[in-house]
């Protein structure tokens, strides 16, 4: 068969498209800060802002009207300490943010990132021993406590991003014991130790003060190991699986898609976003590169995309771009 006979005609070309994008494929990350009257662009993430809670209303209305499924929340607290107590405080930044968003738009999905690195003074994703190594099992107790406090505030889905062993099991148990058996867990199962998180760590003030995250995040030399991580998390009853970053890890997405029946999410992270935005700004590439990149994630097998491009892409899709 000659493919050209199909490709010649824009109508047949469209008719045979294998994947497409729609606004509801997206979850949009939001960064919340303490204080009042703050809507401040994040230098490392052009077009993305820090919001104080009183300034969220317009943003939330826009996200909902664009047809985006929901938001994933990150908090930048005023106070940090050794155990990250701000992460589970009833009046913590995320807990206040969830209550506010739910009061504005009850039908917009609110996902919370469950981790300690924004809240610990050392910037690591867990409780540390005297040698500076994360103590896995003590950390998962804290992680479960954080997830519970998010659920109590009204979160629809909790998303643990710490990569400790058995945290999904610990969270599930805690949620169930407290009457939240209907709150799903979206697990960052294949989260790689990556340089692509650079702009985020500036935005969330969460860079480790010493060392790196290689003792708990995945080694990017390994793809098959991701299947093991996914199998473990599904066994612990994870409802969604996240692969992160997205673009350089689409082989991992595809492998998971082929090996498991689950709801597969990719996190199109800060470094991927900022590289593209800067290249567009410099005139090096056309902005249609955004659509092409997001389509590649769908083609690899992602069902849901967490992306800083969500709003601009949803606008374009509404205008009929393809």
Active site members = 191, 244
Q: How far is the CB of 201 from ligand PBG (least distance, A)?
A: 6
C-alpha count within 13 angstroms, C-beta hemisphere, residue 193:
14
User: By C-beta, is 161 or 262 nearer to ligand PBG?
Assistant: 161
> Which is nearest to 273 in space by CA: 317, 311, 315, 217?
311
- Residue from 117, 175, 276, 314 binding Zn ion (CB under 5 A): 117
- Residue from 115, 255, 256, 290 binding Zn ion (CB under 5 A): 115
Kindly state whether residue 269 participates in binding ligand PBG, applying the rule CB under 6 A.
Answer: yes
Kindly state whether residue 187 participates in binding Zn ion, applying the rule CB under 5 A.
Answer: no
- Residue from 52, 270, 274, 293 binding ligand PBG (CB under 6 A): 270
Q: How far is the CB of 162 from Zn ion (least distance, A)?
A: 5
Angle between helices 57-65 and 310-318 (to 10 degrees): 40
Return the DSSP state at 218.
B
Alpha helices in 34-92 (DSSP H): 57-65
**Contact predicate 254/261, CB 8 Å:** no
Q: Give how far Cα 84 sits from Cα of 156, 161, 210, 293, Å.
A: 22, 15, 16, 36
Kindly state whether residue 21 participates in binding Zn ion, applying the rule CB under 5 A.
Answer: no
**Contact predicate 215/133, CB 8 Å:** yes
Q: How far is the CB of 125 from ligand PBG (least distance, A)?
A: 5
> Which is nearest to 105 in space by CA: 151, 148, 58?
58
Partner residues linked to 264 by β-bridges: 241
216 binds, among Zn ion, ligand PBG, none (CB under 5 to 8 A by kind): none
201 binds, among Zn ion, ligand PBG, none (CB under 5 to 8 A by kind): ligand PBG
Tokens of 17: 């498209």
Contact code string over 165-204 relative to ligand PBG, x by CB under 6 A: --------------------------------x--xx---
Of residues 107 through 136, those in contact with ligand PBG by CB under 6 A are 113, 115, 117, 125
Transcribe 32-59 into DSSP letters.
EESSSS-EEEETTEEEEEEEEGGG-HHH
Contact code string over 125-164 relative to Zn ion, x by CB under 5 A: x---------------------------------------
Determine phi and psi for 108, rounding to 5 degrees: -80, 130
Transcribe 131-148 into DSSP letters.
TS-B-HHHHHHHHHHHHH
Number of residues that bind ligand PBG (CB under 6 A): 11
52 binds, among ligand PBG, Zn ion, none (CB under 5 to 8 A by kind): none
Please give the residue ranges that form the binding site for ligand PBG (CB under 6 A). 113, 115, 117, 125, 161, 197, 200-201, 206, 269-270
Please give the residue ranges that form the binding site for Zn ion (CB under 5 A). 115, 117, 125
């Amino acid at each position: 068969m000659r493919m050209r006979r199909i490709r010649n005609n824009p109508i047949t070309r469209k008719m045979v498209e294998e994947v497409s994008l729609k606004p509801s494929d997206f979850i949009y990350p939001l960064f919340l800060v303490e204080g009042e009257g703050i809507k401040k662009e994040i230098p490392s993430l052009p077009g993305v802002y820090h919001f104080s809670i009183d300034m969220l209303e317009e943003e939330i209305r826009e996200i909902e009207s664009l047809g985006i499924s929901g938001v994933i929340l990150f908090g930048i607290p005023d106070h940090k300490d050794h155990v990250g107590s701000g992460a589970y405080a009833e009046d913590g930044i995320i807990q206040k943010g969830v209550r506010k968003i739910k009061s504005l738009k009850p039908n917009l999905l609110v996902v919370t990132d469950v981790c300690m690195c924004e809240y610990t003074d050392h910037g690591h994703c867990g409780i540390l021993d005297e040698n500076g190594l994360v103590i896995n099992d003590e950390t998962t107790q804290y992680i479960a406590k954080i997830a519970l406090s998010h659920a109590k505030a009204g979160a629809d889905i909790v998303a643990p991003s710490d990569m400790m062993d058995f945290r999904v099991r610990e969270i599930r148990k805690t949620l169930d014991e407290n009457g939240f058996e209907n709150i799903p867990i979206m697990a960052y199962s294949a989260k790689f130790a990556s340089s692509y998180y650079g702009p985020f760590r500036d935005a969330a003030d969460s860079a480790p003060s010493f060392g790196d995250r290689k003792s708990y995040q995945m080694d990017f030399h390994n793809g098959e190991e991701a299947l093991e991580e996914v199998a473990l998390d599904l066994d612990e009853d994870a409802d969604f699986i996240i692969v992160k970053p997205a673009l350089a890890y689409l082989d991992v997405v595809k492998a998971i898609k082929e090996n498991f029946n689950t709801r597969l999410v990719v996190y199109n992270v800060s470094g991927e976003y900022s590289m593209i935005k800067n290249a567009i700004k410099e005139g090096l590439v056309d902005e249609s590169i955004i659509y092409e990149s997001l389509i590649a994630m769908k083609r690899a097998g992602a069902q849901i995309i967490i992306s800083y491009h969500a709003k601009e892409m949803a606008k374009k899709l509404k205008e009929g771009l393809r």
